[in-house]
Amino acid sequence: MGVFDQSNARMNAPEPNPAPEKNDFIRQIVRDDLASGKHSRIRTRFPPEPNGYLHIGHAKSICLNFGIGREFGGLVNLRFDDTNPSKEDMEFVESIQEDVRWLGFEWDELRHASDYFEVFYRSAVKLIEDGKAYVCDLSAEEVREYRGTLTQPGRPSPYRERPVAENLDLFRRMRAGEFADGSRTLRAKIDMASGNINMRDPALYRIRKVAHQNTGDAWPIYPMYDYAHCISDALEGITHSLCTLEFEDHRPLYDWCVDNVDLPNHPELWQPLVEAGFDTPVAKPRQIEFSRLNINYTVMSKRKLLALVSDGLVAGWDDPRMPTLSGLRRRGYPPAALRLFADRIGISKQNSVIDFSVLENCVRDVLDAEAERRMAVLDPVKLVIENLPEGHAETLEFGNHPKNEAAGKRTVPFSREIWIEREDFMETPVKDFHRLVPGGEVRLRGVGIVKCVDVIKDGETVRELRGQLDLDSRPGMEGAKRKVKGTIHWVCAKAGVPAEVRLYDRLFTVADPDNDEDGKSYRDYLNPDSIRTVRAMLEPAACAAAPEQSFQFERSGYFTADRHDHRPDAPVFNRSVTLRDTWSAK
């Protein structure tokens, strides 16, 4: 077995997923390949570039690659495409591994493109020797000029017919660091008249004297993605290389590199990996494309996400308004909801835009089943129950989950003075308002029916309410059967705990913030109400939550204890999602 992180490896293939069989065009290809005997075991990979945090779009690819591996008893590699060290960082490497595990997946082998730098170099030398690659001295601007357009063929580089010996000499000197950054490239010799611009002598290597996080200063040249990716797949024996539709036009180049390097028939190219103890099940991979995830009311360009962080427009990569997996996690989106989302949107060849509410509904569905219930008052106003004695205190019993008796019960303190939501009282009620009004009655959750008998104001602001509890309406008594239209929640004023509650909403005000018409950019569409912080009052059982534990705050929504800031003695909760879709009404 190869050299990799043994703690992360599953040495045996996983059992097939017992869930109902999923069906899409990729899974059908896999079934057909296994049934025909083309492959005895499949291998897939998730190949992120460590130049940023993963976002919701990556979750679709993770669920597909790892999901197929689980379903068909195959193997899945996590491979870092670390071929551009100037933009990469170990912080991103660590966050990617954490996100994959958080989603509920484990890789069989942890690999890096940098593991294969020597193989990439030897393979490039082979292409030069075969007359299929050459060193080019054109600048980047000149390369673009020579490349042509979609309607005009390209022109051959004046260096295209350099002799093999000269190309070998120049490439070895590139490797030795003799030339300045950007002064030369190694290009494949394919077809400058091709209708596919990707085949017009694409670059395979560029000079970049930047230290690499894994290899240090050993390499002053780095391979291009299109070249390194396919050779990595071949070295790892990847059977189905799954990528998004923007790489469909790159597939001819993928196949050209695989075919012309021809690793299976040239073991001398990957001998360094054998000597280093790497598992090298060399095979010819097949690239298959599927539609990427496009979701409205957000941006998923790494460049734009980086700008949001760098320019202080959000609080960091894990800001709960960000579409990053770490942001969604901190907001309280459970990993099961993201897996459910991936299942619901499915896999296809057709690009489309998914409404953000589909994701939110997945969160609701999972949290409705999993999250215990608690009472919290987000905008408190005091209600004093006058016909209870001063110092009155009792303990009530509430079920933790109305649909799951196994979740057990909790005790909730109750006293003469309680907090209720300010919006649950209206001095001059509008039609169909069925909560507390002067002289009106409402049921206090688990307590009984209370009548508002007085309103104490400070100017126009209601400072305190006074009420009378119908003592015959307590639970279990005959009067409890009396009908009233409204039921409201509450928190004991004596035992309630103040908490910071962060009310998050969508980061952008428009469905397509990438739309740059009228000279606007995504920055112009930032939602000024995407976060609002309130000082709430919580029942004590909510404050004892562990970081990342989620509750339904009754009648308010689903809230999650912040994974970094929450403490039982200083609670901090993030609103994950409202009980219902409130955005469409806006």
Q: Which residue positions form the known binding site for ATP?
A: 49-51, 55-61, 244, 292-293, 300-302
What is the Cα 332 distance to its own chain's centre? 12
* Cβ partners under 8 Å of residue 258, min gap 6: 230, 231, 233, 234, 284, 285
Burial class (CB in 10 A: 0-12, 13-18, 19+), 452: buried
> Sign of dihedral through CA atoms 48, 54, 55, 59?
positive
Q: How far apart are CA 452 and CA 315, in angstroms?
A: 43
Q: How far apart are CA 287 and CA 468, in angstroms?
A: 72
Count the alpha carbons within 13 Å of 111 in the hemisphere toward its beta carbon.
29
Q: How far apart are CA 26 and CA 141, in angstroms?
A: 39
Separate counts of helices (H) and strands (E) for the chain: 14, 27
* Cβ partners under 8 Å of residue 477, min gap 6: none
Nearest-5° Cα angle at 454, 449 to 457 = 130
Q: How far apart are CA 145 and CA 154, in angstroms?
A: 8
Which position among 27, 41, 49, 304 bears the catalytic label?
49
**Cα distances (angstroms) measured from residue 576 to each of 14, 140, 172, 500:** 33, 46, 55, 14
Burial class (CB in 10 A: 0-12, 13-18, 19+), 423: exposed
Helix (H) / strand (E) element for 493: namely: none
Known active-site residue 302: yes
Nearest-5° Cα angle at 174, 179 to 271 = 160
Give the chain's length: 586
Q: How far apart are CA 538 and CA 234, in angstroms?
A: 56
**Which of 337, 309, 334, 335 is CA-nearest to residue 321?**
309
Q: How far apart are CA 256 and CA 491, in angstroms?
A: 68
Point out the annotated binding site: 49-51, 55-61, 81, 225, 244, 292-293, 300-302
Which position among 87, 122, 155, 292 bears the catalytic label?
292
Q: How far apart are CA 9 and CA 77, in angstroms?
A: 9
Known active-site residue 292: yes
> Is residue 133 classed as helix, strand or coil in its secondary structure?
strand
Which position among 22, 41, 208, 302 bears the catalytic label?
302
Known active-site residue 586: no
Q: How far apart are CA 272 and CA 278, in angstroms?
A: 9
Cβ contact 329:321 at 8 Å: no
Catalytic positions, please?
Answer: 49, 292, 302
